[in-house]
Amino acid sequence: MTTYQSRNDVPEQEKWNLTDIYPSLDEWEKDYEQVKVMTEELKAFDGNIDSGKSLLEYLTKQEELSHTFNLVYVYAMLNVDVDTRNSDSQSLLDRAKHAGVKISSATSFFMPFLLSLDEAQLKEYIAEDEGLNYFEEDLFDSFRYKSHVLSKEQEKIVSRLGEALSSPSGTFSMINNADIKFGEVTDKDGKKAEMTRGMYSKLIEDEDREVRKEAYKAYYEPYVALKNTIASTLSSAVKNNVSLAEIRNYPSALEKGLFGDNVPKEVYENLIATTKENIKSMHRYTEIRKEKLGLDELRQYDLSAPLVKGVKLDIPYQEAYETMVKALAPLGNDYVERLKEFKNARYIDVRETRGKRSGAYNLGLYGVHPFVLLNHQDDLDSLFTLAHEMGHAMHSHYSNKHQPKITAGYSIFVAEVASTVNEVLLINYLLNKETHKDIKKHLLNHFIDQFKGTLFTQVMFAEFEMKTHALAEEGQPLNAEVFNQIYENLFREYNGDTVVFDEEVKYGWSRIPHFYRPFYVYKYATGFASAIHLATKILDGDQQTLDSYLDFLKSGSSDYPLDLLKKTGVDLTTPEPIVNALKRFEELVEEFAQL
């Protein structure tokens, strides 16, 4: 594996070229000063929008400010992410964040003002100035919120309570990230050491079962000890969400959570029901896992153990990029050529170095280009991460190129489609060309586990959220015992009877940060199912699906997420895309069993 002592050792070709945003720090400073001036100018519109002309002036200036601020903020953020220890970069980011708070405060008057207008008045303003046609759809979309926005005085009270209402999430974050102390595990020298999260993700995949068991017990130890405290924070978060839904006149907390994306609750309910109707293949996979590991009893700490021993693939970055490009050939010549350009144009920061932010992401910067952060480890996971992030990058590239600023950004609901289509095409390519039986089994196992984590587990989490919110809406108590019971029942239902339960299993709810961002996780599952549906048709040579998928990548947020997907032939208001994805899972499991 290629390792570098310092960032200076990394070839220029594998580092971001941030001069694409600002050629010098002086240019950044100029824009930073400009942001401050424009913020004051926007503030002056409070109480002074009384015609189509003044409304257009405000919206035009607000969009211009938003664009300039994005450049200022992203430049600072990317500089920090390549070396989080650099205090000069940190100071730039702090200044950018401060500017962001000022903008938010200066423009907070606008939404209450807009929703105080009636539609006839807004139409009159739009008729006065044709420049407002550009903003029309956005303005009227805001009107969807009209029945959920309170009077000016009530909004002020709710906004003052904002910090208090979000405190359960903050409290859990402090417990989970700062205060939690895991139990001890035995290190390679036979000494006891306190386990870390990083160690856990490695140890739970260890081939030695005793190592896995010890890591599992040490990981859950603090969560079980803090069960009542964490139950109290989660209960408060759920109840706060239910109260806000009531205050804002939503029929339920679930419908409040889905409102922004204009998704009917039937889509959410259909996802859960369809997954459970097709759960047999998941149970079958659990049985195969027990059999392959040669165990009398399959426990939760066996669910991530590798089923194919001794396979470790070394895939250098250059080879990984070439493999990805070949795998994505079904997406057409233009897609592949753009991908090749990205590598040479330094859109990707490739290597792990001291102080660099961990993980991977894509950031599409309008008017510049996508920036992709990797920490490439020359292994199979890194190859999949590369294909995943380049899916996001191509989505950003096409949307930014084909959409105006106002509709260029795409919603999280559709974001995972582009990344997962790439991963499905990649696994298909690798399986087709691989002749070594153990490697083929390893690839299949890798994809099945990803499928399980992104679809089945997220649907299980989504059902947990739905059940806990429903209890709160009925005024039922929520405590550790109630959470345990719901989580344990769901875990049994989704994983089948093959798993023998340890005491810790039922405490799974206590470690999930996503539960403090309600009704969000289902988007992973719908995105994954949509991508499986599309990639399967593209691989079958369906030209119409390919054309509509490439159009989808160019669409940004020019329509609501469900409608954008419908244009590709994926209708999430029906069970079909979920059924097709689960059928594919069943085929993968059978193929793995036969190998």
Same domain, 363 and 327: yes
Strand partners, 185: 193
Question: Domain range spanning residue 266?
Answer: 179-310+449-516
Q: Based on the domain organization, do 501 and 534 belong to the same domain?
A: no
- Tell me how far apart the alpha carbons of residues 302 and 499 are, in angstroms, rounded to a whole number: 9
Q: Cβ(139)–Cβ(122) under 8 Å?
A: yes
In Å, what is the CA distance from 10 to each residue of 4, 14, 145?
Answer: 7, 7, 50
**Cα separation, 182 vs 222, whole angstroms:** 6
352 lies in the same domain as 393: yes
In a domain, 64, yes or no: yes
Q: How far apart are CA 595 and CA 590, in angstroms?
A: 9
Q: Considering the candidates 389, 416, 463, 465, report the single residue annotated as catalytic.
A: 389
Confirm if 424 and 391 have CB atoms less than 8 A apart.
no
Beta strands in 104-224 (DSSP E): 184-186, 192-194
Asked if residue 531 and residue 393 are part of one domain, the reply reads yes
Residues 6+ apart with CB under 8 A from 132: 52, 55, 56, 59, 125, 126, 139
Q: Note if 337 is an active site residue.
A: no
Q: Answer yes or no: do 398 and 543 share one domain.
A: yes
pLDDT in tens, the chain (595 residues): 566 878 999 999 999 999 999 999 999 999 999 999 999 999 999 999 999 999 999 999 999 999 999 999 999 999 999 988 888 999 999 999 999 988 988 888 898 899 889 889 999 999 999 999 999 999 999 989 988 988 767 877 887 787 788 889 889 988 887 788 999 998 777 889 888 877 888 899 888 999 999 999 999 999 999 999 999 999 999 999 999 999 999 999 999 999 999 999 999 999 999 999 999 999 999 999 999 999 999 999 999 998 988 788 889 999 999 999 999 999 999 999 999 999 999 999 999 888 888 889 999 999 999 999 999 988 888 999 999 999 999 999 999 999 999 999 999 899 989 999 999 999 999 999 999 989 999 999 989 998 999 999 999 999 999 999 999 999 999 999 999 999 999 999 999 999 999 999 999 999 999 999 999 999 999 999 999 999 999 999 999 999 999 999 999 999 999 999 999 999 999 999 999 999 999 999 999 998 8
Give the single-character DSSP code of 571: -
Helix or strand holding residue 363 (H, E): strand 361-364
Kindly report the CATH number assigned to the domain that includes residue 408.
1.10.1370.20
Domain boundary among 164, 198, 230: 164
C-beta atoms surrounding 164 within 10 Å:
9
- Which of 313, 310, 312, 300 lies closest to 209 in space, CA to CA? 300
Q: Please tell me the distance from the alpha carbon of residue 305 to that of residue 437, in angstroms, as a whole number.
A: 19
Laid out side by side, the sheet with 348-351 consists of 348-351, 370-376, 361-364
Residues 404 and 335 in one domain: yes
In a domain, 270, yes or no: yes
Number of domains in the chain: 3
Output the domain CATH number for residue 84: 1.20.140.70
Query: What's the pTM?
Result: 0.88
